[in-house]
Amino acid sequence: MMLRDKVAVIYGAGGDVGGAVARAFSRDGARLFLAGRRRATVDAVAKDIVSAGGSAEAAEVDALDAQAVDRHLQSVIDKAGRVDIVFNAVGIPGTKILGVPLIELGLEQFSLPITTYATSYFLIARMAARRMVANKSGVIMTATTQHSRMGLPLSGGYGPAMAAEEALTRVLSAELAPQGIRVVGLRPQAMPETGTLKEAFEARAKVSGMTWEQFQVSLASRNHARRLMTLSEMANVAVFMASDKASGMTGTTVNLTMGSLDD
């Protein structure tokens, strides 16, 4: 029970990463407030958690809308008295951003991931930090991918978006850690259980001619373990990083690439 009685807000909680982190946080004792753009997917995760004996409330919150994020966080404070952890698991479909060579890519498609990922993370972090400073404690978290540090073809503005998030993690920490707030990211290896990876495959399938199985083998061949990651492996690390046991970690992105990327 590493997160017993911690109040956690997860954005993009209806997605694969957000849902897995929410379930893992709940198993470790956190009280959850789940937010996402479409209410139905967030409701489904909350329902699962509650039927397993946990505490979760769902809300429709657009993480790109500063006022909506602010109102929702205030409602969390009103109900729970504080917010201890926020986790940004917002993501946009790969079909909108992947699969087009840069020389053919339009500016709008290039900018979309950069604007979406950096803005949602910034707004969530800023609004949460304003509440956390009062308690001189809190943890702000996000998820990125190895595109932040690798030149992977046909990924458009996704790499720059991931790099922007990781840079923001460092800057947020430099300003907030003196006030007791840790800021940490997770950079997981691709997870085949997720719709995101299936979309990444589909975006490249026509060009590469690979099957789904060949695609996974080719991704795994770049890491030491020669396999991809499970959602539960990622979520277990998220629990630890959110807990007080990780009190020495801030301003960093945990390298969960299983050896794809050297530190």
Ligand X SMILES: NC(=O)c1ccc[n+]([C@@H]2O[C@H](COP(=O)([O-])OP(=O)(O)OC[C@H]3O[C@@H](n4cnc5c(N)ncnc54)[C@H](OP(=O)(O)O)[C@@H]3O)[C@@H](O)[C@H]2O)c1
- The least distance separating ligand X from the CB of residue 12, rounded to whole angstroms, comes to 3
Size of the site for ligand X (CB under 6 A): 28
Report if residue 9 touches ligand X, rule: CB under 6 A: no
Q: Is 49 exposed, middle or buried (0-12, 13-18, 19+ CB in 10 A)?
A: buried
Coil, helix or strand for 33? strand
Taken as a whole, the chain contains a residue count of 263
Report if residue 64 touches ligand X, rule: CB under 6 A: yes
Q: Residues 156, 98: contact at Cβ < 8 Å?
A: yes
- How far apart are alpha carbons 86 and 11 in whole angstroms? 8
Give the CB-nearest residue to ligand X.
Answer: 15
- The least distance separating ligand X from the CB of residue 67, rounded to whole angstroms, comes to 13
- The least distance separating ligand X from the CB of residue 108, rounded to whole angstroms, comes to 17
- The least distance separating ligand X from the CB of residue 88, rounded to whole angstroms, comes to 8
Least Cα distance to 56 among 7, 126, 104 occurs for 7
Among 101, 153, 195, 259, interactor with ligand X by CB under 6 A: 195
Please give the structure tokens belonging to residue 60.
Answer: 């429709």
- The alpha carbon of 257 is separated from its chain's Cα centroid by a whole number of angstroms, namely 15
Report if residue 91 touches ligand X, rule: CB under 6 A: yes
Contact residues: ligand X, CB under 6 A: 11-12, 14-18, 36-38, 41, 62-64, 89-92, 120, 143, 145, 188, 190-191, 194-197
